[in-house]
């Protein structure tokens, strides 16, 4: 089977398991909604301050809620030694990793798509006319989060160190996503200076995808 075919088989397996167990999505979504609700009490939804910090708040929720999904990505393979069965099969580390990324990405995007309108309601934010651009930022930022989180999930499969390792590496991607999201939610045009953040996000995604695909075999087998 082709590289993508094998990766899709892994992704379909992960998504089917998740649909049946709802192991991570429930936890991640509950966490996102509770954080959004709690912060809505801390800030006045009508103040300008909220619009200024909107991007940061949104990505704080996405990043923390996302970790709950990413943390279990490889840990769920430990049950019945399924990880050994996968590594022993003719699937390459890169195919396994890419399949897991696709499944995690889908789950993260679902959580984000549910959280975004809730955020808009709680914080009295009118979703921008350029919603498509905001969605593009979400897609780019989430892929960066997914790639780094999935790789570290493989590295820390027996431990709970994922958040401490992932967040420092994610700083450039989060900075870009926060900056762009704040501009778009405020309804400002994406000027020339903000194109830099788009480029940064795209470059981050490409570089870390290539690096992770190259490193994952060593991470899994040694």
Partner 1 sequence: MSPASAVAIQGVWKYYGDFPALRDISFDVKAGSCLALLGRNGAGKTTLLRILAGLSRAARGTITILGGDARSEKTRQRIGILGHGIGVYEELSAFENLRLFGRLYGVEDPRKTATEWLERTGLDRVRDGLVREFSRGMRQRLAVARCFLHNPSVLLLDEPFTALDDRAIHVLQDLLKSALAEGRTIIMSTHQLREALELATDVALINRGKLGFRGERTWEMLEDPGWLYRHYGEA
- By the criterion CB under 8 A, which residues form the site for partner 1? 1, 5-6, 9-10, 13, 16-17, 20-21, 79-82, 84-92, 221-222
Q: Residue 9 or 118: which CB sits closer to partner 1? A: 9
In whole angstroms, how far apart are CA 90 and each of 193, 218, 221? 47, 16, 13
Q: Residue 5 or 117: which CB sits closer to partner 1? A: 5
In whole angstroms, how far apart are CA 120 and each of 46, 51, 126, 146, 198? 12, 11, 6, 24, 23
Length of the chain counted residue by residue: 222
Q: Residue 168 or 222: which CB sits closer to partner 1? A: 222
Q: Residue 22 or 199: which CB sits closer to partner 1? A: 22
Q: Collect all residues with Cβ–Cβ distance below 8 Å to 107 and sequence separation of at least 6.
A: 15, 18, 24, 25, 28, 69
**Shortest distance, CB of residue 49 to partner 1, whole angstroms?**
44
**Shortest distance, CB of residue 153 to partner 1, whole angstroms?**
17
**Shortest distance, CB of residue 9 to partner 1, whole angstroms?**
5
**Shortest distance, CB of residue 96 to partner 1, whole angstroms?**
9
For 16-134, list the strands marked E by DSSP. none
Given a contact cutoff of 8 angstroms between Cβ atoms, the answer to whether 99 and 11 are in contact is yes
Question: Two tokens at 74?
Answer: 């490889």
**Shortest distance, CB of residue 7 to partner 1, whole angstroms?**
11
Q: Residue 88 or 160: which CB sits closer to partner 1? A: 88
Cα–Cα distance for residue pair 90/76, rounded to 1 Å: 20
**Shortest distance, CB of residue 43 to partner 1, whole angstroms?**
40
CA proximity to 166, closest of 101, 70, 83: 70
Q: Residue 51 or 76: which CB sits closer to partner 1? A: 76
């Amino acid at each position: 089977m082709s590289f993508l075919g094998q990766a899709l088989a892994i992704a379909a397996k992960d998504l089917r398991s998740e649909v049946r167990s709802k192991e991570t999505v429930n936890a991640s979504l509950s966490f996102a909604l509770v954080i959004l609700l709690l912060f809505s009490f801390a800030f006045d939804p009508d103040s300008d301050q909220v619009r200024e910090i909107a991007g940061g708040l949104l990505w704080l929720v996405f990043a923390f809620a996302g970790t709950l999904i990413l943390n279990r990505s490889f840990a769920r393979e430990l049950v019945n030694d399924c990880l050994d069965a996968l590594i022993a099969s003719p699937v390459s580390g890169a195919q396994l990793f890419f399949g897991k990324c696709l499944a995690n990405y889908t789950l993260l995007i679902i959580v984000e798509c549910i959280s975004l309108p809730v955020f808009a309601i709680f914080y009295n934010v009118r979703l921008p006319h350029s919603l498509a651009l905001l969605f593009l930022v979400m897609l780019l930022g989430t892929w960066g989060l997914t790639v780094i989180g999935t790789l570290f999930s493989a590295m820390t499969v027996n431990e709970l160190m994922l958040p401490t390792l992932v967040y420092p590496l994610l700083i450039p991607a989060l900075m870009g996503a926060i900056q762009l999201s704040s501009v778009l939610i405020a309804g400002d045009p994406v000027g020339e200076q903000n194109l830099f953040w788009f480029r940064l996000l795209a470059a981050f995604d490409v570089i870390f995808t290539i690096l992770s695909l190259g490193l994952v075999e060593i991470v899994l087998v040694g």
